[in-house]
Chains A and B, each alone.
Chain A
Amino acid sequence: MCVTCGCGSAEVHIDSVSAAPAQAQTHFHTHADGASHSHSPAQTHDHDHDHDHDHDHDHDHDHDVVAAANPTHGLAAESSHSHSPGTSATRRVQIEQDILAKNNAYAQANRQALADGGVFALNLVSSPGSGKTTLLCESIQRLGAAQVVVIEGDQQTSRDADRIRATGASAIQINTGKGCHLDAHMVGHALDQLTLAQGSLLMIENVGNLVCPAAFDLGEAHKVVILSVTEGEDKPLKYPDMFRAASVMLLNKIDLLPYLSYDLQAALDYARRVNPALKVIQISATTGQGMPAWLDYLREGMAGAAAARQQTVQALKARVAELEAQLAAQPGA
Chain B
Amino acid sequence: MLRSMHEMSLAEGVLQSIEDAARHDNFSQVVAVWLEIGALSGVEPQALAFCFDAVSRGSVADGARLEIITVPGEGWCAACAVSVPLQEVFDACPHCGACPVQITAGTGMRVKEIEVG
Contact = CB atoms under 8 A, between A and B. Distances in A.
Contacts of A69: 46-47, 49-50, 53
Contacts of B22: 47
Interface string B11-53: 0111111111111110111010001000001100111011001
A94 interface: yes
Nearest to A5: B16
Contacts of A206: none
Contacts of A72: 53
Contacts of A5: 16
Interface string B50-81: 10010101001011011110000000000000
Contacts, number: 162
A217 to B, nearest CB: 13
A11 B2 CA distance: 16
B11 to A, nearest CB: 9
Interface string A178-217: 1111010000000000000000000000000101101110
Chain A interface extent, by class: 35 or more
Interface of A: 1, 5-6, 8, 36-37, 43, 45, 47-51, 53, 55, 57, 61, 63, 65-66, 68-70, 72-73, 76-77, 80-81, 89-103, 178-181, 183, 209, 211-212, 214-216, 237, 240-241, 244, 273-274, 276
B23 A47 contact: yes
B115 to A, nearest CB: 5
Nearest to B4: A180
A47 B14 CA distance: 18
A36 B20 contact: yes
Interface residues of B, number: 57
A90 B112 contact: no
Contacts of B89: 240-241, 244, 274
A48 B18 contact: no
A99 B17 CA distance: 8
**4 closest residue pairs by CB, A with B:** A77-B63, A212-B6, A69-B46, A180-B5
Contacts of A101: 13, 17
B45 to A, nearest CB: 6
18 contacts: A1-B12, A37-B20, A66-B53, A76-B57, A77-B62, A80-B63, A90-B115, A94-B113, A95-B18, A97-B17, A97-B111, A100-B109, A103-B9, A178-B5, A179-B9, A180-B2, A240-B88, A244-B89
